[in-house]
Amino acid sequence: MIHSFPCGDPALDFVGTWQARRNESPAEKLGTPAGLDAWFVESTLAPDGTSPTAEDLAAAIELREAIYALVLARLERHDLPEDDMTTVNTYAAHPPLLRVLHRDGRSKEGTSAAALSEIARGAIELVGGSEAGLLRECARPECTQVYIDRSRGQRREWCSMKTCGSRVKVAAYRSRLKAANG
């Protein structure tokens, strides 16, 4: 698996494909059309993939950055940027993935544009809905992942306990050991 999905929302996990965005060396997880297709498959958004092109990749990155700008505005309690709202609304206006019923189950079919439409629609629901107040940014300084804090008491600090939470706790433990051994 190339991608991770710790955020509790596909649009936020999609934003997280540009990892550690404020660090000196952020990591681009979509870098190629194949990386975008892998995200579609691994997220189960389009389990059979969409065979994206370089143009689809450019569109995906444009959408991702517009969603991030809207999420950041919500986090910082600022007005939503008009240009980014327009971008997300434009992608959401495309037809979504087609749901197809089969004798043995169901599938989702469509193009990369349809998959991006699904992501944009989810972002609209998130940024404009009741869960916008639950958006948090990971407390690990090297991480910029945004997640939905649905924890009881809403005191979750990390995007994922398996990765960031564990790293922070190990670093704190080592720091205490070093101080104790002086």
Q: How confident is the model at residue 169 (pLDDT cuts 50, 70, 90)?
A: low
Task: Say how far apart CA 71 and CA 49 lie, in whole Å.
Answer: 27
**3 state DSSP class of 141:** coil
Residue 52, domain member (yes or no)? yes
Q: Model confidence over 81-119: pLDDT tens digits?
A: 999 999 999 999 999 999 999 999 999 999 999 999 999
Question: ∠ CA(176), CA(179), CA(182), 5° rounding?
Answer: 150
Range of the domain at 27: 10-181
Residue 40, domain member (yes or no)? yes
- List the one residue out of 12, 68, 88, 2 whose CA is nearest residue 39: 2
Residue 50, domain member (yes or no)? yes
The pLDDT assigned to 24 comes to 85
Task: Say how far apart CA 134 and CA 126 lie, in whole Å.
Answer: 10
Judged against a pLDDT cut of 70, whether residue 124 lies above it is answered with yes
Task: Say how far apart CA 3 and CA 13 lie, in whole Å.
Answer: 9
Residue 1, domain member (yes or no)? no
Q: How confident is the model at residue 177 (pLDDT cuts 50, 70, 90)?
A: low
Q: Which of 8-12, 76-80, 178-182 has the lowest mean pLDDT?
A: 178-182
Residue 2, domain member (yes or no)? no
Strand partners, 18: 28
Q: State how many domains the chain has.
A: 1
Residue 5, domain member (yes or no)? no
Residue 101, domain member (yes or no)? yes
> CA of 4: how far to CAs of 54, 56, 91, in Å?
22, 21, 23
Residue 30, domain member (yes or no)? yes
Find the distance separating the first CA and the last CA of the chain, reported in whole Å: 41
149-173 exposure pattern, b = at least 16 Cβ within 10 A, e = fewer: eeeeeeebebbbeebbbeebeeeee
4 backbone φψ class: left, alpha, beta (φ>0; ψ -120 to 50): beta
The domain that contains 171 carries what CATH number? 1.10.3300.10
> CA of 150: how far to CAs of 110, 111, 136, in Å?
31, 32, 10
Per DSSP, 126 falls in state H
Per DSSP, 163 falls in state I
Mean pLDDT of the chain: 90
Strands (E), the chain: 18-19, 27-28, 98-102, 105-109, 135-137, 146-148
CB neighbourhood size of 81 (10 A): 14
